[in-house]
Structure 1
Amino acid sequence: MHHVTPTRGRTHLTFIGGGTMACAILDGLAESALTAFGPGQKPEYSFSITARRQERVVQLSARYPGAYVADNNDDEKLWLFAKDDKPAAHIILICTKPQSTFDVCESIRLAHEKAPMPYNLPTVVTMSPGITISKLESWLNPQNHPKRFTVLRTMPNTPVSIRQGATALVASRHATTAEVDRVIALFRVFSPCVETLPEENLLDVAAAVSGSGPAYLFQFYKFLVAAGVQWGLPESLARSLVMQTGVGASMLANNQPEVSLSSMIGNVCVPGGSTEKGIKSLVDVGLQAAVTNAVGTSLEANHGMKGRE
């Protein structure tokens, strides 16, 4: 596990895009004791958010009353808010669709050319598969410019909303230890698992595994519930049993990392018993090939999200 040096002073977070992932992270922060949602709390993080539709601005303002919410990335108040907040550091989290990333980077660059910050440029964190660090740096940093935006690519998943996320991360070679530690510390607030990858190309693989993973598991849970219903269980009862089985099995495996998953399967399967026969039927119908194909298909799609050349 990457050892993180504690950050001193408040960090300001600017969320570009107020959609599902931004709200999942904000909700995870709200669940922690590090934000100013409760009276009398001393916040470690402050934040501002952008959204494209006015009705969404209203919704986000009500949901996160401590934030400044803008309806476009060019709003000068958005960046002045971060500046006037006088944070020790500023992290910009791009939470938009991949095809919007170039325009977002352009607006960030122009905003900071107009109103430069009194400290180092913000760290820019993306959550998009396919778009490389080198491409992001070329969009953010004009040639021969004396200061550079530092870029980190991440891939969290939606359980961050209940502080149970899994996040893969890779940093630009220009990133300092302090900058990387600051981002890791932020993500650990809502993501118990934060894995720093040895190679950037592995981020798209992680996106296809853990980023998409909740949906794969939900699909399996859906099928398991449906099977229970088919054989006579009431749907609400089947769902309750399946959900708790998923939670318990995941906790059991996570609490015993030294035990292989094959051994855990064997611990449930009595030789010749009903569970062993059920597992054999899953193997016989090609479950492993189906899962491998799903991850491969997702990975191929991730590679296609390269944004503007």
Structure 2
Amino acid sequence: MSTKKITFIGAGNMAGAIFKGLLANGYPSDAITATAPDADHLQALKQSLNIHVTTDNLAAVADAEVIVLAVKPQVMQGVCREIASSVCRTRPLIISVAAGLQAETLNAWLGGEHAIIRCMPNTPSLVGAGASGLYALPSVQPEQRDFANQLLSGVGLAEWVDQESLLDVVTAISGSGPAYFFMIFEAMEKAAVEMGMPADAARRLILQTGLGAVRMAQETGEEPAQLKRNVMSPKGTTERAIHTFEAEGMDAMFLKAMQACADRADELARELAN
């Protein structure tokens, strides 16, 4: 990975996961700058990671080749307008990890004609097992796409989409998806306890089962439908459970929930743009 001067505007959990992933992969700490309003938090980062820190956004972006916008969507407009005059002179690559804010909205707030990549990461990025969707404006150069790809690959999987609207679907899949799995784990644990299993033992079995299922899906490359059939014996226990889920309309329920998620992501984008 080529070394570029990177500034993270915002040093919260998601930004921290990304620059810690960079450092873990050998990226030089003196090429990374992080900003935040909390000076104590920044000093703790400086001491533990040896990166540059400052509360001054303008100073931080002055010579940055890549800027990662990692502040809350509600304050993004103010941040963009603060640094717009500087980035219009230097034209760095802009990567946004803020949910809901469309690339052209950011482009307008920053003064226009920028190379902007939107990224939709998820919370497992915090443990190096993330799944991020990325979309690039046409102005982004191939080498800039490659850099962003390597940046996000440091915290997990990076998957590109060619339409920005598909980031709403990414939100419904991987952005919000961890909560779906946690809900399944929670429901299974409640059911196991109701059936007489101690909660701690049930949880260990459930989490290991989930981990094993994911590893099988990744390592075998088989389609989920086939993997499901591999577990099912005719007239057996798994078949009866699966038929119960099917009778309750599980596929339709997931479609309805994920569509509601994607619709809300689109609503938020329009609200934030206005």
| Residue in structure 2 matched with residue 267 of structure 1 by the alignment | 230
Provide the secondary structure at the position in 2 that maps to 1:14: strand
Q: 2:95 aligns with which of 118, 125, 129?
A: 125
| Residue in structure 1 matched with residue 160 of structure 2 by the alignment | 196
User: Which structure has greater helix proportion?
Assistant: 2
The percent identity for this pair of structures is 29
Q: CA deviation at 1:163?
A: 2.3
The amino acid across from 1:105 in the alignment is C
Deviations 1:188-238 (A, max 9, x none): 2222x2221121111111111111111111111121122222222222221
Asked if the contact 2:101/2:273 (under 8 Å) is kept, the reply is no
Check 1:151–1:45 CA distance in 2 against 1; reply closer, same or farther (3 A cut).
farther
Check 1:260–1:45 CA distance in 2 against 1; reply closer, same or farther (3 A cut).
farther
Using CA pairs under 8 Å that are at least 6 residues apart, name the structure with larger relative contact order, 1 or 2: 1
Tell me, in whole angstroms, the C-alpha distance in 2 between the residues paired with 1:202 and 1:165.
18
Q: 1:207 aligns with which of 168, 171, 187?
A: 171
Q: CA deviation at 1:128?
A: 3.0
The correspondence of residues 169-184 of structure 1 with structure 2, limited to 5 A, is 169-184=134-149
Q: TM-score, normalised by structure 1?
A: 0.80
The correspondence of residues 158-173 of structure 1 with structure 2, limited to 5 A, is 158-173=123-138
Check 1:139–1:244 CA distance in 2 against 1; reply closer, same or farther (3 A cut).
same
Q: CA deviation at 1:124?
A: 0.7
Asked if the contact 2:8/2:15 (under 8 Å) is kept, the reply is yes
The correspondence of residues 68-217 of structure 1 with structure 2, limited to 5 A, is 68-71=52-55, 73-74=57-58, 76=59, 78-79=60-61, 83=63, 90-112=65-87, 116-117=89-90, 121-142=91-112, 148-191=113-156, 193-217=157-181
Asked if the contact 2:85/2:111 (under 8 Å) is kept, the reply is no
The amino acid across from 1:172 in the alignment is L
| Residue in structure 1 matched with residue 34 of structure 2 by the alignment | 49
Asked if the contact 2:36/2:42 (under 8 Å) is kept, the reply is yes
Q: CA deviation at 1:98?
A: 1.9
Pairs aligned (count): 272
Q: TM-score, normalised by structure 2?
A: 0.89
Asked if the contact 2:29/2:51 (under 8 Å) is kept, the reply is no
Provide the secondary structure at the position in 2 that maps to 1:175: coil
Tell me, in whole angstroms, the C-alpha distance in 2 between the residues paired with 1:58 and 1:294.
42
Q: Is 1:24 matched with 2:50? A: no
Tell me, in whole angstroms, the C-alpha distance in 2 between the residues paired with 1:34 and 1:126.
23
Q: 1:283 aligns with which of 246, 259, 268?
A: 246
Asked if the contact 1:28/1:160 (under 8 Å) is kept, the reply is no
Q: 1:234 aligns with which of 182, 186, 198?
A: 198
Q: CA deviation at 1:102?
A: 1.5
The amino acid across from 1:71 in the alignment is T
Tell me, in whole angstroms, the C-alpha distance in 1 between the residues paired with 2:232 and 2:30.
48
Check 1:20–1:290 CA distance in 2 against 1; reply closer, same or farther (3 A cut).
farther
Tell me, in whole angstroms, the C-alpha distance in 2 between the residues paired with 1:169 and 1:252.
26
The amino acid across from 1:34 in the alignment is G
Structure 1 range deviating more: 18-27 or 263-272: 18-27
- Across the aligned residues of Structure 1 and Structure 2, the Cα RMSD in angstroms comes to 2.2
Tell me, in whole angstroms, the C-alpha distance in 2 between the residues paired with 1:63 and 1:24.
14
Q: CA deviation at 1:184?
A: 0.8
Gaps of 5+ in 1: 1-6, 36-42, 84-88, 143-147
Q: CA deviation at 1:130?
A: 3.3
The amino acid across from 2:54 in the alignment is A
